[in-house]
Amino acid sequence: MSDLPSIAIVDANNFYVSCERIFDPRLEGKPVVVLSNNDGCVVARSQEAKALGIDMASPWHSIAAEATAQGVIARSSNYELYGDLSARTVELLGRYTSSQEVYSIDESFIRLTGTPPQVSAIAREIRIATRKLIGLPVSIGIAPSKTLAKLANRGSKTAPALLGVCNLAAYSPAQLTSILQSVEVGQVWGIGGRTAKKLIGLGVYTAAALRDADAAGIRRRFGVVQERVVQELRGIDCLPLEEVHADREQIQFSRSFAIPISTVPELQEVLSVYTQRASARLRRQNSLARLMRCYASTSPFQDEHVTHAVSLAFPDPTDDPVVIYRAALTALGPQLQAHRQYVRVGVSLHEFSSRDTHAALDIFDTNPAPFAAGDVLDSITAKYGQETLGLGLAGFKSNRAWTMRRNMVSPRATTHWDELATVFAH
């Protein structure tokens, strides 16, 4: 067998729940759910919770009493913990490949090379390392294309005999056809519900039937994207990996509030907090931003729902928190209305460039070293914590009424010194 390039998708099992279990082993084997912003709906479930019939997106307030009586343990979303463990997993996978695409917080595509047995062995090594070094259980699907890798990943989760690794290259053509015949066309990655209904109307019921369909005909009816799905099911790699880049294409802070806010000073405080955090993230990646977007929105379920949104460009790319906050306040502030009940505010930065490429020399400048507010804030918050000091309305204040409700949040054990896990020896 010759060496062939393979695409593997590494998927953390029940990611949010698995993150919670790393630092609280008492949750192992018990039904656990993780809730959305403001402890609203179920967004993650352990296998035990699924077995009890708890559905995704179930409103927690409507099922809390019954679920608790069944022994279900609820946790608020701990985004700091989940994001850090996701980043650690991405770094670990980078030790096994030079080509990686971070598809979501709990999934990454990677490229592996070798014979099918060699690639499967690498995948098993990745599973062991991820469990041992990070604490996360993962399942891995391997195939010549992304679409087939996603199908293989389903098999790695549903067939216990595979021990978490499914490599479709290990199957004969007849066996692969049998596998694809067992998959409904609507379950194929890239086929939406509406497209699936149209395909079924054409007699295409399974992944195997879609693979064997006339690709040109599929393109005429549905477009080039769906034609690529057909080719991908044939093992032709049509969706190259989007490599991981150090810099983000955008930086965004947007949250729903536990308690709606209606005063302009509170909205200004939110803008102050979000612009300061966004500028800090810019400096961490040594970037400047040219464009900013801001918005404030009331609940879409209330009468006279409104969204105020503005976009603005800075005269010069910047990471200065004072400049960014003043711009946000100047642009969005006049639109804010005190009688509205705002439930969400967002700030996003775009069009990045390297900080090093914008060092300017002004021969008429009498102050060649202006006060660098951002760098001073970074040094203070790095030493004493994010809430230690802020600009204007964002300064010296914590436990704000508008912050997201997380009554059952676990400690941020990997990102905050004062929340490190306590280990007891017997």
Please tell me the predicted confidence (pLDDT) of residue 409: 84
Please tell me the predicted confidence (pLDDT) of residue 242: 66
Question: Tens digit of pLDDT for each residue in 21-53?
Answer: 999 999 999 999 999 877 888 989 999 999 999
Q: Can you give the residue ranges of every domain in the chain?
A: 1-170, 172-245, 251-363+370-395
Decide yes or no: CATH 1.10.150.20 for domain 172-245.
yes
Architecture of domain 251-363+370-395: 2-Layer Sandwich (3.30)
Q: How far is CA 235 from the centre of its chain?
A: 28
Please tell me the predicted confidence (pLDDT) of residue 394: 54
Please tell me the predicted confidence (pLDDT) of residue 84: 86
Residues 6 or more apart whose CB falls under 8 angstroms from that of 391 comprise 272, 276, 321, 322, 325, 373, 377
Q: Tell me, which fold does domain 1-170 have in CATH?
A: Alpha-Beta Plaits (3.30.70)
Please tell me the predicted confidence (pLDDT) of residue 258: 58
* β-pair type (342-354, 251-261): antiparallel
Contacts made by residues 119-128, CB under 8 angstroms, sequence distance 24+: 119/6, 119/8, 119/167, 119/169, 120/165, 120/167, 120/170, 122/96, 123/8, 123/165, 123/167, 124/163, 124/164, 124/165, 125/96, 126/10, 126/92, 126/93, 126/96, 127/164, 127/165
Question: Tens digit of pLDDT for each residue in 163-207?
Answer: 999 999 999 999 999 999 999 999 999 898 889 999 999 999 999
Please tell me the predicted confidence (pLDDT) of residue 107: 92
Residue segments in the chain with a per-residue pLDDT below the cut of 50: 243-247, 361, 363-364, 368-369, 396, 402
